[in-house]
A and B are shown apart, each in its own frame.
Chain A
Amino acid sequence: MLQKTIPLDLPGSHDDHGASNTVLGFWVYLMTDCIIFASLFAVFAVMGHQFAGGPTGKDVFELPLVMLETAILLVSSITFGFGMLAAHKGKSTALLAWLGVTFLLGVVFIGLEIHEFSTLLAQGYGPDRSAFLSAFFTLVATHGLHVAVGLIWMVVLAVQVIGNKKITQRDLTRLTCLSLFWHFLDIVWICVFTFVYLTSVV
């Protein structure tokens, strides 16, 4: 195992093949993450109607807020995409600017989610209230946690690009992995707003 990984970590050995294997490996990780989310969606599908006399989705979900979160995440997907286009052209200033915009959008998204959760908790509608709310908090918070990790990762990569002065092949590989991660989270969010929020409200 160790011998296989060492060549990839040596500076200068990042040929295209090594980079492509890294990206494929990360993609396979994302697919396992996809299965984690699938199981959480399965839990929500089963528990989503067990209110234990507590509030239903219709009572607690605010669609305008969800719509705003959706819009922010969607815009952040395209701004990250523009950042990647800049990175492939070697324009580090443009890359950092787009990463900055994406980061701010991500922070606003997390802020809105914290606002939503704290409002629910203040009303006594925490995850301990009913099976529906347990499943809801677990699923949506897992997604939010992923977004938060993506934001930390974004800062780390931005610092590396600033430190390197220019975008290296290694930076590009790492940025590609993060872009897959970020777009993947947006796809998970499509399922969240469709199958958690909208189906609970119809």
Chain B
Amino acid sequence: MANAHSIDTGAGHGSVRSYVIGFVLSVVLTAAAFGLVMQQVFGPTESIIAIAMLAFIQILVHLVFFLHMNTSSSQRWNLLSLASAVLVAVILIGGTLWVLHNVGAHMMSR
């Protein structure tokens, strides 16, 4: 922990403005996801891709506007731990699906 200037680690305060922007963006993204599915705008595969992208964008919106994450040096350790957790999650979920998909294919259980 060499960076002694990391006083605000993870504790950015934000402002009414940033919370309201984040809220409005989240409402739009959530409504879009539910609307796409409930109105059956696309077929199943396209819908899943579309709502997955909407979810990804909304997670970024929450991280920036609600959790006040940014790329400043004071947040280096927060970002690094987030990046490592995301890496583990991707390996965990992707690896599980990959391995078990292959198992399913070989066992002809599907």
With contacts A16-B7, A78-B19, A78-B23 known, is A45 near B51, CB below 8 A?
no
How many residues of chain B are within 8 Å of chain A by beta carbon?
Answer: 50
With contacts A23-B9, A78-B23 known, is A38 near B93, CB below 8 A?
yes
Distance between A112 CB and nearest chain B CB, rounded to angstroms: 16
A104 interfacial contact with B, CB 8 Å? no
Distance between A201 CB and nearest chain B CB, rounded to angstroms: 6
- Tell me which residues from 25 to 70 in chain A have a Cβ below 8 Å from any Cβ of chain B: 26-28, 31-32, 34-35, 38-39, 41-43, 45-46, 63, 67, 70
Segment touching B, from A79-87, A123-131, A132-140, A155-163: A79-87
Once the chains bind, are A77 and B16 in contact (CB under 8 Å)?
no
A113 interfacial contact with B, CB 8 Å? no
> B residues near A, CB below 8 A?
1, 4, 6-11, 13-16, 19-20, 22-23, 26-27, 30, 33-34, 37-38, 40, 44, 47-48, 51-52, 54-55, 58-59, 62-63, 66-67, 77-78, 81-82, 84-85, 88-89, 92-93, 96-97, 100
- Could you list some 5 contacts between A and B, CB below 8 A? A17-B7, A20-B8, A21-B9, A78-B23, A82-B16
